[in-house]
């Protein structure tokens, strides 16, 4: 079994992974991976939290990881993704891949005999979405019925995965951003099959009734060439103290990090009492441990 997209997991499977995470958090699981298990981290893009959390997750489960920067591998000289996948399958037990193009991740998985995990592509970031929903569940004591406002670039990968996962688990989503950057139509359509997704271009409308205010960088990896343009267009979608007045009084703030203070979010909000950003970051490790255990069990 691979985890390339939130679409690869049913509602029950997501809840099963959350249950494993709970057991790990409470110290009630003695589950570890097969002795000597190895995770290959095949990364085309930079990473801090995802790389470190996967490395620590493998260590805590009794395995180890190998980081492969594709720029220093034979892929940089033209070796096909398919050949790389077949080679890695001979050596490791899991592959977590961070790739520019989602279709390359699919090719990797199609040629791999070991589980492949999406550690971020241009279309999705499913492990982040799982950590996000787990964090919301702990903070709000539920997911169903919670209203999440995703503010800013509503056309990007983290939004796609969060939208799918949240609606599948019964939450509602408000997408709040400029009409020039509409959400991915495929992900929007699929998410609306599961639940409620509304689209707004003003903060006042979009944050009304929000239990969670979620934002991310205005300039995602791969969009650096239009950084200045994006900063201007998205400026009015900054999550600041004034914007939070439109949300529910007990609304909490989330951000997957890295955060650019003064752009998509202000420092006082990021570090304020309503922020659960650091708990969110902490839960990446927990959920990646749970995902590795789950995939290991399914691959037996």
Q: Are residues 52 and 138 in the same domain?
A: no
Based on the domain organization, do 135 and 271 belong to the same domain? yes
Q: How would you class 107 by CB atoms within 10 Å of its CB: exposed for 0-12, middle for 13-18, buried for 19 or more?
A: middle
Question: Do 158 and 223 form a contact (C-beta atoms < 8 A)?
Answer: no
Q: Tens of pLDDT along 192-251? A: 999 999 999 999 999 999 999 999 998 766 667 777 888 899 999 999 999 999 999 999
What is the average per-residue pLDDT within 34-40?
A: 93
Please give the residue range of the domain that contains residue 172: 128-280
In a domain, 98, yes or no: yes
Q: Is omega for the bond preceding 258 within 30 degrees of 0, making it cis?
A: yes
**Do 69 and 149 belong together in one domain?**
no
For 164-184, what is each residue's pLDDT tens digit? 999 999 999 999 999 999 999
Same domain, 106 and 138: no
Contact criterion met (CB below 8 Å) for 94 and 114: yes
CA trace torsion 84, 89, 93, 98 (10° rounding): 20
Q: How many helices (H) and strands (E) does the chain have?
A: 12, 9
Q: How far is 296 from 25, CA to CA, in rounded Å?
A: 19
Over 80: is that where the pLDDT of 32 sits? no
Q: How far apart are CA 120 and CA 139, in angstroms?
A: 25
Alpha-carbon dihedral 206, 208, 211, 212, rounded to 10 degrees? 30
Residues 100, 256: contact at Cβ < 8 Å?
Answer: no
Are 260 and 120 in a shared domain? no
**113 in any annotated domain:** yes
Q: Which long-range contacts (CB under 8 A, 24 or more apart) does 80-86 make?
A: 81/107, 81/108, 81/111, 82/107, 82/108, 82/110, 82/111, 83/111, 84/42, 84/108, 85/109, 85/110, 85/111, 85/112, 85/116, 86/111, 86/112
| 224, 163: one domain | yes
- What single DSSP character describes residue 142? -
36 and 176 co-located in one domain: no
Residue where the block lists tokens 């899991």 = 94
Please give the tally of structural domains in the chain. 2
CA dist., res. 211 & res. 150, Å (int): 11
**pLDDT-derived band of residue 123, with 50, 70 and 90 as boundaries?**
very high
CATH number of the structural domain spanning residue 73: 3.40.50.1370
Least confident of 55-59, 71-75, 119-123, 238-242: 71-75
Asked if residue 25 and residue 114 are part of one domain, the reply reads: yes
Q: Judge if 252 and 289 occupy the same domain.
A: no
Q: Is residue 275 part of a domain?
A: yes
Q: Is the pLDDT of residue 118 over 80?
A: yes
Note the pLDDT tens digit of each residue in 135-159.
999 999 999 999 999 999 999 999 9
Residue 1 lies in a domain: no
Q: What is the pLDDT of residue 116?
A: 98
User: Do residues 136 and 273 share a domain?
Assistant: yes
Q: What is the pLDDT of residues 245-276, one digit of tens each?
A: 999 999 999 999 999 999 999 999 999 999 99
In a domain, residue 263? The reply is yes
129: nearest Cα among 257, 284, 277:
284
Percent with pLDDT over 70 in the chain: 97
Taking alpha carbons only, the member of 219, 100, 209, 205 closest to residue 152 is: 219
| Predicted pLDDT at 28 | 76
Whether residue 90 sits in one domain with residue 61 = yes
The three-state (H, E, C) secondary structure of 163-179, written as one string: HHHHHHCCCEEEEECCC
Q: Is residue 149 situated within a structural domain?
A: yes
Instruction: Answer yes or no: do 92 and 38 share one domain.
Output: yes
Residue 34 pLDDT: 87
- Select the more confidently predicted residue: 31 or 290: 290
């Amino acid at each position: 079994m691979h985890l390339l997209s939130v679409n690869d997991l049913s509602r029950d499977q997501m809840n099963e992974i959350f249950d494993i995470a709970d057991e790990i958090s409470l110290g009630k699981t003695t589950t570890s991976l097969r002795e000597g298990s190895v995770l290959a981290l095949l990364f085309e893009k930079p990473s801090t939290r995802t790389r470190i959390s996967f490395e620590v997750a493998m260590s805590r489960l009794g395995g180890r990881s190998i980081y492969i920067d594709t720029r220093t591998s034979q892929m940089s000289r033209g070796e096909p993704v398919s050949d790389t996948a077949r080679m890695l399958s001979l050596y490791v037990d899991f592959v977590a891949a961070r790739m520019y193009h989602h279709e390359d991740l699919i090719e990797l998985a199609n040629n791999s005999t070991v589980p492949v995990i999406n550690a971020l592509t241009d279309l999705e970031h499913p492990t982040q979405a799982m950590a996000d929903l787990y964090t919301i569940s702990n903070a709000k004591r539920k997911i169903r019925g919670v209203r999440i406002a995703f503010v800013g670039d509503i056309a990007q990968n983290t939004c796609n995965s969060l939208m799918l996962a949240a609606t599948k688990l019964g939450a509602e989503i408000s997408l709040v951003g400029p009409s020039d950057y509409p959400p991915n139509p495929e992900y929007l359509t699929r998410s609306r099959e599961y639940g409620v997704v509304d689209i707004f271009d003003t903060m006042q409308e979009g944050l009304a009734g929000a239990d969670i205010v979620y934002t991310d960088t205005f300039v995602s990896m791969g969009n650096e060439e239009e950084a200045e343009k994006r900063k201007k267009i998205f400026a009015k979608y900054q999550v600041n103290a004034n914007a939070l007045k439109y949300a529910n009084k007990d609304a909490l703030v989330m951000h997957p990090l890295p955060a650019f203070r003064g752009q998509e979010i202000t420092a006082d909000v990021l570090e304020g009492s309503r922020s659960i950003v650091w708990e969110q970051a902490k839960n990446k490790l927990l959920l990646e441990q749970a995902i590795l255990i789950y995939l290991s069990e399914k691959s037996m």
